[in-house]
Amino acid sequence: MNVMNQKLTGIGMTSDRTRMRMIERLRQQGITDEIVLTAMREIPRHIFVDNALASRAYEDCPLPIGFAQTISSPYTVARMSELARSGKPIKKVLEIGTGCGYQTAVLSRLAQEVYTVERIGPLLTKARRKLVEIKCSNVRTQHADGSQGFPDMGLFDCILMTAAATHIPQDLLGQLDVGGRMVIPVGTQQQHLYLIERTPQEFKETCLESVKFVPLLPGRS
């Protein structure tokens, strides 16, 4: 096995066996979508964190990735992905907050097209390298203010946000297609995960569980 293959496969606490334990834990936590579980089984989470934290990559907790940002816990990634899919194939998904690129990589296994926006330039540069490394060829990235979405790409059948907004951005609602779903954390001190479903007549909001995300910030850096 060459060095690159060994890095992607992992050894010890980053090994295939450790990844399988993560998948079994997700099942016990209530994740039932096997397509999501397969995607998370295939994506080497440990390459998206610093080497010093690689041995903790499959623990069920967020980890720092620099610039006051975090990689979400495996459960959070699985839960949001499952809500986004809702048991159906995704054609075109918009992710707000690329971060280290792990959620992006999972989405690349669930959707035909992935569009992802990140406001922090150095984070996006690192994420792009990792996505190329694991051959995520259906991902398009943009360095921009995520609250504005990706308006040049038309409507999306799924929008997923990985930072907490103080309110649901109207610009994003306008980019959600009829029949589409948005998964978004909302709040400041108290945050909750919301599912927004667009029908021909309205946007239906469902407040789900309490969550903890870094705040959605404006502008680029």
Residue 9 pLDDT more than 80? Answer: no
| Half-sphere exposure in the Cβ direction for 107 (13 Å, CA) | 33
What's the mean pLDDT when you consider all of the chain? Answer: 92
pTM score = 0.93
How many residues can be counted in the chain?
A: 221
What's the fold here for domain 3-211?
Rossmann fold (3.40.50)
Residues 105-163: tens digit of each pLDDT: 999 999 999 999 999 999 999 999 999 999 999 999 999 998 889 988 889 999 999 99
Catalytic residue among 15, 55, 72, 86: 72
Residue 7 pLDDT more than 80? Answer: no
Q: What is the DSSP letter of 170?
A: H
Residues 7-45 as b or e (16 or more Cβ within 10 Å = b): beebeeebeeebbeebbebbeeeebebebbbebbeebbb
pLDDT score of 64: 95
SS3 content of the chain, % helix, strand, coil (to 5): 40, 30, 35
72 part of the active site:
yes
Residues 35-70: tens digit of each pLDDT: 999 999 999 999 999 999 999 999 999 999 999 999
